[in-house]
């Protein structure tokens, strides 16, 4: 990512405490999240701050991290020593994930004191499966409300008070009312003021587009996805 793009992105990130990243498989969601973590931890220069990466249902992409920053061993080593992966293996179900996230806001099992970024990789997967086990709409609504009130809201407040940037990586689903793919259960997460980052691939032109959505505005840019990461054409 060019220096100009990094500055523009850093200025945008500094305005938001809560960030959603979503898109279909293969659009580079996790790659972009790694680049955001790098931007927040090491720009303009690496500091003694850390990121916590929650393996909700996906293993931490260590090989991808090493590929992204293989040309800068100092930076790569810095990131490897300042990104803490929790838990050791991805959580197995919705209830294990809830318990893990609830414990993050406690003193007994909280995040390191110098944490400035918290990433949850694919927070949608276990929730989507849990919802599929119920046919009654009332049960589904109750699960969503409980998840939001007992997990997301406390974590959001905790991150805001601790000055931690909270990043969620989501799956997508098709919304027939809007006739397009949207962030899974977008109604749930739209309750919080956030920066929503959507990654899309045009099937006809084969071009990639990144959309930055806020409560008041929306901007779109073309990007390329390569081994060294996402490059936004600003």
The CATH number of the domain where 188 resides is what? 3.40.50.300
Total domains present in the chain: 1
Query: What range defines the domain where residue 210 resides?
Result: 3-233
- In Å, how far are 7, 9, 45, 196, 214 from 217, measured between CA atoms? 19, 15, 30, 11, 5
Give the mean pLDDT of 140-157: 90
Which of 141, 179, 207, 159 shows the shortest CA–CA distance to 54?
A: 159
DSSP, collapsed to helix, strand or coil, labels residue 153 as helix
Q: Enumerate helices (H) and strands (E) in the chain, giving the number of each.
A: 9, 11
Which residues lie below 8 Å from residue 204, measured CB to CB, with a gap of 6+?
Answer: none
The per-residue pLDDT for range 111-133, each reduced to its tens digit, is: 888 999 999 999 888 998 999 99
First to last CA, the chain: 11
* pTM of the complete model: 0.91
- Residue % of the chain over a pLDDT of 90: 56
The per-residue pLDDT for range 160-179, each reduced to its tens digit, is: 999 999 999 988 877 777 76
């Amino acid at each position: 990512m060019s220096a100009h793009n990094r500055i523009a992105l850093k200025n945008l990130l500094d305005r938001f405490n809560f960030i959603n990243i979503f898109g279909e498989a293969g659009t580079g969601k996790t790659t972009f999240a790694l680049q955001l973590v790098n931007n927040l931890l090491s720009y303009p220069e690496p500091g003694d701050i850390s990121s916590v990466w929650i393996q909700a249902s996906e293993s931490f992409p260590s090989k991808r991290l090493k590929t992204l920053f293989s040309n800068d061993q100092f930076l790569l080593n810095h990131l490897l020593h300042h990104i803490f992966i929790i838990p050791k293996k991805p959580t197995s179900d919705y209830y294990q994930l809830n318990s893990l996230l609830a414990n993050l806001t406690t003193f007994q099992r909280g995040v390191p004191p110098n944490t400035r970024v918290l990433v949850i990789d694919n927070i949608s997967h276990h929730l989507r499966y849990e919802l599929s086990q119920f046919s009654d709409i009332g049960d589904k609504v109750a699960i969503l409300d409980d998840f939001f009130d007992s997990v997301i809201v406390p974590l959001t407040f905790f991150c805001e008070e601790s000055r931690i940037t909270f990043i969620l990586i989501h799956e997508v689903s098709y919304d027939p009312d809007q006739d397009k793919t949207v962030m899974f259960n977008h109604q749930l997460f739209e309750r919080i003021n956030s920066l929503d980052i959507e990654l899309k691939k045009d099937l006809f032109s084969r071009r990639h587009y990144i959309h930055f959505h806020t409560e008041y505005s929306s901007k779109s840019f073309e990007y390329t996805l390569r081994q060294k990461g996402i490059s936004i054409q600003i």
